[in-house]
Amino acid sequence: MLTRQKRALGEQAKIFKALGHPSRLLMVEALRDGEKCVCELRELVGDDMSTVSRHLAVLREAGIVSSEKRGTNIYYTLKLSCLGIFLECTARAVTRKAREQFEEPGAR
């Protein structure tokens, strides 16, 4: 039973880990307004196609996105819908932190 909880914790960490890369975060952000094919995402992040494909695999294995082959392309969709709000929250935290670090050296 303890093992189950530990496994769950690891799976949960996997979600965060998958989101912990600029390119992957950018792609997930883009997927918030609808599915995109790999080629669109490749264009967005500018990396090699193979690199993008691997990033997407990480997101897929974490359960954050799902993929569907349709016609000649593969489309990726955001599965973890609750992510949106948290993305906004972290974005705010980042600007807040930047402001603090900007003010601090001048203060005191």
Partner DNA sequence: CTGATATTTGCCAATTTAGCCAAAAAGACA
Partner DNA sequence: TGTCTTTTTGGCTAAATTGGCAAATATCAG
CB of 64 to DNA, least distance (A): 14
Count how many Cα atoms sit within 13 Å of the Cα of residue 3 in the half-sphere of its side chain.
0
The piece of 9-17, 30-38, 48-56, 70-78 that touches its own copies (CB under 8 A) is: 9-17
Q: Residue 77 binds what, of DNA, its own copies, none (CB under 5 to 8 Å, by partner type)?
A: none
Residue numbers 41-80 binding DNA by CB under 7 A:
42, 47-58, 67, 69, 71-74
End-to-end alpha carbon distance in the chain: 52
Question: How crowded is residue 30: how many other Cβ atoms within 10 Å of its Cβ?
Answer: 16
State the helix-helix crossing angle for 2-19 and 49-61, rounded to 10 degrees.
150
Contact residues: its own copies, CB under 8 A: 6, 8-22, 24-26, 63, 80, 82-83, 85-87, 89-91, 93-95, 97-98
